[in-house]
């Protein structure tokens, strides 16, 4: 079993920045590709960003490309999402997840473990 805990969410004004963190325990962190997803009220959970186990490759949803940066520090068992130029439409609960394997790191159903989520609210 892998336990994932997100932190760093909060309230920020549009145009501002936040950095989310996801810490992992229970398994070897570097063996998992990791992803960030988000879910706004009334919407389905959607892909935000993903990173391979070594950190060598990253992937982003078009809606956040150029504004968000995913990274990881395997020595600290931690993954990050740096969010800049935040928009009101970025408001959501953000979840980190560990990949179970498959063919598409953007696919929600190919992730095995999920954190509890952290709320990000962007105000005008």
Q: Give pLDDT, residue 118.
A: 98
Contact in structure between 82 and 17 (CB atoms under 8 Å): yes
Q: Give pLDDT, residue 1.
A: 77
**% of the chain beyond a pLDDT of 70:** 99
Residues 6+ apart with CB under 8 A from 4: 22, 23, 24, 96, 97, 98, 113, 114, 115
Q: Give pLDDT, residue 115.
A: 97
Q: Give pLDDT, residue 29.
A: 85
State whether residue 69 is helix, strand or coil.
strand
The yes-or-no verdict on residue 31 having pLDDT over 90 is: no
């Amino acid at each position: 079993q892998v336990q994932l805990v997100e932190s760093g969410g909060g309230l920020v004004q549009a145009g501002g920045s936040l950095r989310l963190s996801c810490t992992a325990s229970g398994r070897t962190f570097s063996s998992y590709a990791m992803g960030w997803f988000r879910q706004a009220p009334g919407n389905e959970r959607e892909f935000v960003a993903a990173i391979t186990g070594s950190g060598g490759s990253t992937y982003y949803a078009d809606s956040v490309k150029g504004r968000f940066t995913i990274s990881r520090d395997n020595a600290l068992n931690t993954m990050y999402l740096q969010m800049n130029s935040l928009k009101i439409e970025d408001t959501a609960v953000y979840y980190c997840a560990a990949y179970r394997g498959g063919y598409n790191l953007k696919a929600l159903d190919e992730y095995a473990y999920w954190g509890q989520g952290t709320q990000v609210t962007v105000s005008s």
